[in-house]
Structure 1
Amino acid sequence: MDFSYNDLQRMLHESAETYAREHGDFERRRRLMASAAGYAQEDWKLMADLGWLALLLPEEHGGIGGGPVETMIIMEALGRALAGEPYLSTAVLGAGCLLRHGTPAQRDACLGPLASGDYRMALTHREEGSHENRYAVSLRARPDGDAYVLDGAKRMVFDAPHAQAFIVSARTEGDSAARNGITLFLVPAAAAGLAQQPFRRLDGGQAAHLTFTGLRVDAAAILGRPGQGATVLDDLYAHAIGALCGEALGAMQAMHDATLEYLKVRRQFGRPIGTFQALQHRQVDMYTALEEARSLTLAANMALAESLPEADRLLSMAKAQVGKSARIVGQGAIQLHGGIGMTEELQVGAHFKRATVIEAMFGSRQHHLARLAGDPQA
């Protein structure tokens, strides 16, 4: 497997690095996270102008036909910039789901506005008590003529408050834990019978609990094949894990770099604290953990891009390693900064919060270790 970037990926990397430098000022990001939207609309528009929102789309839809590696490159920059834009929800999961599982009518109606930044989406899947079983779906979709009626609730829907549409998993047959019998629907956020309860996440981002009460959708809203939504979910999970691992790399790199700089300028006993061997060892541990996560993340995304049979295993390995590495890097960054590392005025704490949220998304470290061990319940 060739780990080097091609020409397109190198250009994308340079563009993403520039964005992170120019738009990732921590004080600016703090103000944006506290705002009503949680991010700057001009930044979202810039992503559209740069072609990032259409990254996965083919040329006929205004995209460049990118894949998991290109997504990872952008997500790493967004992680370093502590960006709050709903890029994962819209440009990765939303666009990817429409592109690979949507009907021609759905793609024609949604992909153009999505690429221009006028259409945001959110995956609506997690339910109370589902824990880490990705097939635990209790929200029911009852057939009613040529339509379906949805009743139930979803929890912790990331980026829900400003989304125009939701990818909703519902149970059309079978019991609530069965893999078969799940169907995915594209549901407008303004649909009658849909209520939101918005809130802020640990990392400052936006989310909502959703309640569906007699919500009626046409059969044309189905994504993929009826009753076989588990296949779509598996696909979305794979791409989400690859992208999130990339974002975590950016967060860890930011914590590492900030700590390294602090060790150079903070003085104790008449010299920089970075000259003390014990602190140098801790910094090396952080760097080693970061590079271990980087290698597995790149390998996993390359395998996913090539549809290799080992992609699923590599993704679980990457997600497990990222969870471990983020703890080593985050705790090291905070401890080497001392008391100030725990304050909200310092970026390492904000990045560590985001890395902690990432660790819980789409399967924790323990969950993926269980999958690697062959646990049938994982």
Structure 2
Amino acid sequence: MRQTVDFTYDSEQNDLRDAVRALLDRAYGDSEQRRKVVAADPGFDEQTWARLAEMGVLGLPFAEEDGGMGAGPVEVAIVAEEVGRVLAPEPFVEAVVLAGGLVAAVGTAAQRSAVLGPLAEGGSVPAAALAEPRTRWSPAAAGVTATADGGTWRLTGVKEPVAAGARADVLVVSAVVDGGTALFLVRGDAEGLTRTGYRTHDGTRAAHLRLDGTPAELLGEGTADRTAEIEQVLARARIAYSHEAVGAMEAALRTTAGYLTTRKQFGVTLNKFQALTFRAADMYVSLELARSTALWASMVQAAGGDVVAAADRARLQTSRAGRHIGQEAIQLHGGIGVTAEYKVGHYTSRLTAIDHVLGDGDWALSRLAAGVGTYETVDPLGAPYTPPTTG
């Protein structure tokens, strides 16, 4: 029996989208305002961050007993898409979905209250320090080690890149313990911690972290390997990033379509040229396929399904669509598309950053291909598959 999937939002979800859109439009509806904000540290507007907290956005995915709103993945997806639509530089996915998600998944009740409560209230910005030099999107730690020192732990090694790492009040750091990977909380002002922040090509901020016997608090109880929990949270962050990419792609397409209907060549607007209209139509197809895949992945997450595989599918689709739409948006704008004063190039830059932050499309494709042998064979006409006989 054929099943249908309802991709429409309910009234509360529409209200959330409208409220977040109104706030972010006031903050970044003018691209010049965004350029001013990202030009100065910490790379985002602290007042906008506080207003998001007042709306309950920063506590959306966390349990009410931890100071959150108890909302689901679809609500997180709505916010992420609005962030991408105006290229808001606030570290929503980085702080809420990734760093906050790690604390929510692994931390004790006291740790969740201490970290997630201030985050939801806008008084703290956590960051996840998982990536290491010469590693490639692995949930396991390799170069940072943790050693017990009396009643505390001390971390040694390097983490880079750490999104929003220079601004973070608390860091969630992965480290090797007894051959496995454990998670630790490190205060931003801890001794032995050196943070070197820098601006990335898309205007956001990252940091190089050096830990030299830095005191840390073990996240959760016991030193069991946390690789599986980290993989799950990384998958949720990839899905959220897919929605942020959808918001950016939609804005890039809308800007391009507007340009084609106003810019004139040979006395007529560019949309009169059939070849250009076809290219814009192909961009729309890529956008809608990425949108439906990302929303499907959020629904899989909400239903408790295989979030890792769903995230890989969403990452692959948004990676391909982001590259297609970003490149075509610049091409259809001509020379103005690559200027710093025009926003199309900034959308493409952010889409490129999202594609690489937790694993690019080729990486997701290789993971999906590795498991293709486990899928059942399905006849396209609906008949049971009968293996051919031999002999």
Structure 1 length normalisation: TM-score?
A: 0.93
- After superposition, the CA RMSD in angstroms is 1.6
Task: Tell me the alpha carbon deviations over residues 93-112 of structure 1, each in whole angstroms, 9 at most, x when there is no partner.
Answer: 23322223211111222222
Corresponding residue number in structure 2 for 1:342 = 338
Q: Is the 8 A contact 2:67 2:113 kept in 1?
A: no
- Offset, 1:62: 4.2
1:256 is matched by which residue type in structure 2? L
Matched with 1:10 is 14
Counterparts of 1:89 and 1:279 in 2: how far apart (Å)? 37
Q: Does structure 2 conserve the Cα–Cα contact (< 8 Å) formed by 1:19 and 1:77? A: no
Aligned-pair distance for 1:168? 0.2
| Partner residue, 2:265 | 268
Asked if the contact 1:52/1:91 (under 8 Å) is kept, the reply is no
Instruction: Answer whether contact 1:167 1:187 (CA < 8 A) is retained.
Output: yes
Task: Using the TM superposition, name which of 354-363 and 102-111 deviates more.
Answer: 102-111
One-letter amino acid matched to 1:344: A
In 1, distance between residues paired with 2:340 and 2:87?
14
Structure 1 position 169 matched with structure 2 position 174? yes
Query: What SS does the corresponding residue of 1:190 show, helix, strand or coil?
Result: coil
Q: Identical aligned pairs, as a percentage?
A: 38
1:246 aligned onto 2:251: no
Give unmatched runs, 5+ long, in structure 2. 373-391
8 Å contact 1:154–1:209 — kept in the other structure?
yes
- What's the counterpart of residue 321 of structure 2? 325
Where do residues 134-213 of structure 1 align in structure 2 (5 Å cutoff)? Answer: 134-174=139-179, 181-213=180-212
Deviation of the 1:8 alpha carbon:
2.3
Q: Deviations over 1:155-186 (max 9, x none)?
A: 11000111100010000122xxxxxx100001
User: Which letter maps to 2:227?
Assistant: A
Contact 1:130 1:136 in 2 (8 A): no
Q: Equivalent residues in 2 for 1:1-378 (5 A)?
A: 1-24=5-28, 25-174=30-179, 181-218=180-217, 221-223=218-220, 225-309=222-306, 311-374=307-370
Distance 1:317 1:151 in 2: 35
Aligned counterparts of 1:342 and 1:225: Cα–Cα separation in 2: 51
Judge conservation of contact 2:141–2:175 (CA < 8 Å) in 1. Answer: no
> Partners in 1 of 2:42 and 2:141 — Cα distance?
31
More deviation, 92-101/147-156 = 92-101
| 3-state SS in 2 of match to 1:237 | helix
The answer on whether the counterparts of 1:23 and 1:81 sit within 8 Å (CA) in structure 2 is no
**Matching residue's letter, 2:328:** G
What is the CA deviation profile of residues 309-335 of structure 1, one whole-angstrom value per residue up to 9, with x for unaligned ones?
3x3222111101101000110011000
Task: Report how many aligned residue pairs link the two structures.
Answer: 367
The gaps in structure 1 that reach 5 residues or longer are 175-180
Residue 136 of structure 1: CA displacement?
Answer: 4.7
Aligned-partner residue type, residue 196 of structure 1:
R
Asked whether the 8 Å contact 1:20–1:80 carries over to 2, the reply is no
Post-superposition CA distance 1:189-245 (Å, at most 9, x none): 111111011111111111110001011234xx3246413220221121111101100
Q: Which amino acid aligns with 1:44?
A: W
Aligned partner of 2:201: which letter? L
Q: Counterpart amino acid of 1:141? A: A
Asked if structure 2 preserves the Cα contact closer than 8 Å seen for 1:124 and 1:154, the reply is yes
> Which moved further from structure 2: 4-13 or 330-339?
4-13
| Separation in 2, partners of 1:355, 1:293 | 13
Task: Check whether the contact 2:67–2:116 (CA below 8 A) recurs between aligned residues.
Answer: no
The answer to whether the 8 A contact 1:20-1:81 is kept is yes
The alignment partner of 1:29 has SS state of helix
SS of match in other structure, 1:345: coil
Asked whether the equivalents of residues 106 and 219 of structure 2 are also in contact (C-alpha less than 8 Å), the reply is no
Q: Which whole-Å CA distance do the structure 2 matches of 1:292 and 1:299 have between them?
A: 11
Q: So what's the TM-score if we normalise by structure 2?
A: 0.90
Report if aligned partners of 1:95, 1:111 keep a CA contact under 8 Å in 2: yes
CA contact (8 A) 1:154 1:211 kept: yes
Corresponding position of 1:178: none
